[in-house]
Chains A and B, each alone.
Chain A
Amino acid sequence: MRRFVADLHIHTCLSPCGGLDMAPRAIVAAALNKGLDLIAITDHNTCAMAETVARVANAHGLAFLYGIEFQTAEEVHVLGYFDDAAHCRAAAAEAYSHLPDRRNDPLVFGDQVIVDEDETILVFEPKLLVNSLSLDIEHVFHLIRDHGGLPVPAHVDREAFGIIAQLGFIPDNLQPALVEVAGKTVPCSLGDVAVLRSSDAHSLDEIGQRTTTIVLESISVRELRWAAAGIDGRMILP
């Protein structure tokens, strides 16, 4: 069993709001510099940068978890965590087919670029990624779980794109095993659900600003679910 200081919500240069300096080597260097053991890349409605960051992270002994930050029809942000690149890619492809055909305007939203390890630009993503999928939150939860993933409502206490602001409260039928909280306090209405704290970094200096210490045997969705439930020594430390 190992203790991981984790930041499970990090954007790359592919997210339009993410800085162009959020490239694979720079992200990994910043994470190591902050003493992190585990990171997740969670771009908006895509994971096209994840494998490159994973490769760099693994080469430097930094553990990696695949993720996507989905935006539901209700404008709620939901993180999905996946076991590997294949599951994450399949979930992203399904989400992309439900993303409206609105072009990105880089002057307004920023560039959406896919880069390689050397920061060479490979692709300019044309569709605006920070947009709502035509899937309601229940369908996004299904989509994530259908690909073996773990759905985690993001920054539930935030005014913008948080589930409580958008929907008033967490619908009973969702039953998330984990929620991400941005503030220092936890909303009472959450009850005793397990909480993740992550940076939601869009720039290098934000990486590791909020972290969660998690005890896991290895990096997988099942391990994370077990940590949320406190099963067999896996746990999320307060």
Chain B
Amino acid sequence: MTLHLSDLCTELALEHWTPTLSLDREVGSALVGDLLSDVLAAAKPGDVWVTVQRHQNVVAVAKVTDLAAVVLARGVRPTEDVIAMAEEQGIVLLSSQEPAFDVCGRMYAVMRGVAR
């Protein structure tokens, strides 16, 4: 069974900040990190990135590494300029009230089909 961003949004009850962008992209892997240099080094195309880093460079890093989406954890909300930049660059921005640990745990369960 293939998993799409829209499924992830529903399963994890994520908030979607870039509604002009489609959630059709298929997802199968993810990474977590707040050091953008580390994400630049480690991210693979199509990854979902969980972070609490909200600086606008997040969008640029997601763009150059061709990520499927960015999930801001622990109630971090993107600012207006970051949302505008993400929509312009085609980067899906999602958020969760839960800490990165719980977001990753749920995401792992959904992606790998592990029983919760």
A interface footprint on B38-57 (CB within 8 Å = 1, 0 otherwise): 11100000000000011111
Nearest-neighbour CB distance to chain B for A39, whole angstroms, equals 31
CB of B83 closer than 8 Å to a CB of A? no
A168/B56 in contact, CB under 8 A? no
Number of interface residues of B (CB under 8 A): 13
26 A-B contacts, Cβ less than 8 Å apart?
A74-B55, A136-B54, A136-B55, A137-B55, A164-B37, A165-B36, A165-B37, A165-B38, A166-B35, A166-B36, A166-B37, A167-B36, A167-B37, A167-B55, A167-B57, A168-B36, A168-B37, A168-B39, A168-B40, A168-B57, A168-B60, A168-B61, A169-B57, A169-B60, A171-B55, A171-B56
Residue of B nearest to A75 (CB): B34
Which residues 68-85 in A have Cβ within 8 Å of B in the complex? Answer: 73-74
B interface footprint on A163-205 (CB within 8 Å = 1, 0 otherwise): 0111111010000000000000000000000000000000000
Nearest-neighbour CB distance to chain A for B65, whole angstroms, equals 10
B57/A171 in contact, CB under 8 A? yes
Chain A neighbourhood of B60, CB < 8 A: 168-169
Chain A neighbourhood of B40, CB < 8 A: 168
A174 to B57, CA, bound (A): 12
A136 to B60, CA, bound (A): 17
Residue of B nearest to A168 (CB): B36
A136 to B53, CA, bound (A): 10
Chain A neighbourhood of B37, CB < 8 A: 164-168
Chain B neighbourhood of A137, CB < 8 A: 55
A136 to B55, CA, bound (A): 7
A169 to B36, CA, bound (A): 8
Pairs A-B, 9 closest by C-beta atoms: A168-B36, A167-B57, A165-B37, A167-B36, A74-B55, A168-B40, A168-B61, A168-B37, A168-B57
Nearest-neighbour CB distance to chain B for A102, whole angstroms, equals 17
Chain B neighbourhood of A168, CB < 8 A: 36-37, 39-40, 57, 60-61
A159 to B38, CA, bound (A): 10
